[in-house]
Amino acid sequence: MLGGGIPKGNTVLVSGGPGTGKSTLAMQFLYNGIAKFGEPGMYMSLEERPEDLVRNFSKYGWDLDKVEILSIVPTGKLSSNDLRRGRFTFRIGKGFREGTFSMDLIREIIRDKVQEIGAKRVVLDSISALALHLEDKFILRQEILATVHLLKELGTTSIITTETPEGQGGLSRFGVEEFVVEGVIGVYNIKLGSKRVRGIEILKMRGTKHSQNISLMEITDEGIIVYPEENLFSEG
């Protein structure tokens, strides 16, 4: 569908509703980079703890020991008043650190880890979680833009995931993400008749002559499989 893959150095938005396979696609991108091309990768989660991610993805038989998994999520170690003030506990590797939520801090961690492990691929999952910490939409959009610029500066090939609420039009939650990245991939879980089917679409990808199909996609025991020649809305 991409005519050879995501161009090196591109930052790509993976957009879809709940349960459409965004995180699976992102982690498979990292795992394949290591297993097939020897490209180190890091996965930064703003929603789940590292141990939860490893458990959830273990069903695919992936060895994630070589993936640098970082997590910045509030934990029960802080009081509710701390959390209301934006204080949180986050994990870097096996250690914990307390602080106030800051995109500057997240970018600092991304930069340090990319340089430390020589990461060629980066995943940020999911920027929808930023809405929990940043209420001002103008500031939120500026932070997203600064983060994308950092990934470009680091020269990594990167995926950023975003969740589109069910029933909402558009490609992103904040209305800016799709304009600051080089590529946009949409993933879907659509009810057709009495069953649901999954689909994937390349909405934008600079530097490639990409497919215009909304193609069938499956999440199997080995991860995501795409059928590029099978259109999601084909009869039968």
CATH number at residue 147: 3.40.50.300
| Residue 144 token pair | 């997203």
Spell out the residues 6+ positions from residue 115 whose beta carbon is closer than 8 angstroms to its own. Answer: 154
- Is residue 217 a contact partner of residue 187, using CB atoms and an 8 Å limit? yes
pLDDT confidence band for 174 (50 / 70 / 90): low
Alpha helices in 85-235 (DSSP H): 103-117, 137-154, 177-180
Read off the pLDDT of each residue in 68-97 and give the average, rounded to a whole number: 64
Asked if residue 45 has a cis previous peptide bond (ω within 30° of 0), the answer is no
SS3 149: helix
pLDDT tier, 129 (very low <50, low <70, confident <90, very high otherwise): confident
Instruction: Say if 74 falls within a structural domain.
Output: yes
Distance CA 73, CA 2 (A): 33
pLDDT for res 236: 47
Query: Does 19 score more than 50 pLDDT?
Result: yes
Treating both helix axes as pointing N-terminal to C-terminal, what angle do 22-37 and 50-57 enclose, rounded to 10 degrees? 80
| pLDDT tops 80 at residue 136 | no
The CA-atom distances, in angstroms, between 58 and each of 33, 54, 182, 187, 215 are 17, 6, 30, 22, 26
Three-class secondary structure of residue 134 per DSSP = coil
What are the pLDDT digits (tens) for 207-229? 899 999 999 999 999 999 999 99
Q: Determine, yes or no, domain membership for 23.
A: yes
What is the DSSP-derived secondary structure letter of residue 72? E
pLDDT at residue 139 in the model? 83
The percent of residues in the chain predicted with pLDDT above 90, rounded, is 50
| pLDDT value, residue 63 | 87
87 part of a folded domain: yes
> Is position 212 within any domain?
no
**Across residues 119-147, what is the average pLDDT?**
84
Rounded mean pLDDT, 49-57: 87
What radius of gyration do the chain's Cα atoms show? Answer: 18
Q: What are phi and psi of 41, to 5 degrees?
A: -140, 155
pLDDT value at 235 more than 50: no
Of the pLDDT bands very low, low, confident and very high (cuts 50, 70, 90), residue 5 is: very high
Residue 26 covered by a domain: yes
230 CB neighbour count, 10 Å cutoff: 12
Going by pLDDT thresholds of 50, 70 and 90, the confidence category of residue 175 is low
When comparing pLDDT for 81 and 169, which is higher? 81
Least confidently predicted of 7-21, 126-140, 191-205: 126-140
Which of 115, 90, 119 has its CA nearest to residue 29?
119
* Residue 236 in domain: no
Q: Look at residue 43 and tell me if it is in a domain.
A: yes
Distance CA 88, CA 73 (A): 7
Supply the pTM of this predicted model: 0.87
User: Which of 5-9, 172-176, 230-234 has the highest mean predicted lDDT (pLDDT)?
Assistant: 5-9
Range of the domain at 23: 12-185
Number of structural domains the chain divides into: 1
